Amino acid sequence: MENQLIVIRGGGDLASGVAHRLYQCGFRLMITEQQHPTVIRRTVAFASAVLENQMTVEGVKARHILSLAEAPTLWQQGVIPVISAEASEICREMSPAVLVDATLAKKNTGVQRGMAPVVIGVGPGFTAGDDVDAVVESRRGHWLGRVIYEGSAQPNTGVPGIIAGVGSERVLRSPASGIFRAEAVIGDVVEAGQTVAMVDEIPVRTAIGGLLRGLLADGLPVTPGFKVGDVDPRIYPEYCHQISDKARAIGGGVLEALLHLQWKRKG
């Protein structure tokens, strides 16, 4: 397995849950991420390596690289390379065994079958048997983590999953266009109505009290309605540094899909 390269498109918290599970199973990984990641749960996202040069999630290390030539050294050290490049370019250069699109963009933004022997999409926007070989369900509920070999995941409702009885109220969104500046840090316990950030001169206030589990990085441009934070009504500080149940379920689905499809091809 360590000789099979898996390219994971996206380094957010859900994609990082996938990467962590595959890493623990012995696969060689590379993560592609945009130059200015808009990840919210930065303390459990390998995308943070782009911002901070390196990132560790539950004992697994990742480091930002500028060229593919740096990757072999990191693999020898047991470190996941994170590169700001298009997955299509990486696939042409590295010929991975598997490509996983875990950007959770709610639509296909450039992945297609044939880019690697096995192509897996996470969440809505992909159709197994058409643009990918398998789809992993990302919506909370009975089907979370289910592998779909024909068809698509459930459509995006735009409504966040319920946590401790709270849905949309736990998500912080930008009130206007401008530059985002944090006034709190991930892990803070906040109260309803508290200002946790500014977009230019306009405050971003919480709708509920709880644990500030995620917050956008400083200095990024945002637009009205852009997701900039996440408040967890459960006040467990350790959750800020642990992979979520949702991410683990999706990671299990991706692992099942790639093993099944590789076994089917060999058979």
What DSSP letter does each residue of 131-183 carry, written as one string? TBSEEE--SSSTTTT-EESSEEPPPP-S-PPPBTTB-GGGEEE-SSSEEEEES
Sorted by where each begins, the domain ranges of the chain are 5-156+245-266, 168-233
Asked if the domains at 5-156+245-266 and 168-233 fall in one CATH topology, the answer is no
Q: Give the CA distances from residue 160 to residues 23, 141, 157, 197, 248, in Å, rounded to whole numbers and listed in that order.
A: 28, 12, 8, 21, 18
Residue 1: the pLDDT is 54
**Residue 25 burial class via C-beta count within 10 angstroms: exposed 0-12, middle 13-18, buried 19 and up:** middle
**What's this model's pTM, rounded to 2 decimal places?**
0.94
Euclidean distance between CA atoms 58 and 243, whole angstroms: 8
* One pLDDT digit (tens) per residue for the chain, 267 residues: 556 899 999 999 999 999 999 999 999 999 999 999 999 999 999 999 999 999 999 999 999 999 999 999 999 999 999 999 999 999 999 999 999 999 999 999 999 999 999 999 999 999 999 999 999 999 999 999 999 999 999 998 777 777 777 778 999 999 999 999 999 999 999 999 999 999 999 999 999 999 999 999 999 999 999 999 999 999 999 999 999 999 999 999 999 999 999 888 776
CATH architecture, domain defined by 5-156+245-266: 3-Layer(aba) Sandwich (3.40)
Domain 168-233 coded CATH 2.40.50.100: yes
| Strands, sheet with 171-173, edge to edge from the N-terminal-most edge strand | 171-173, 227-232, 210-215, 189-190
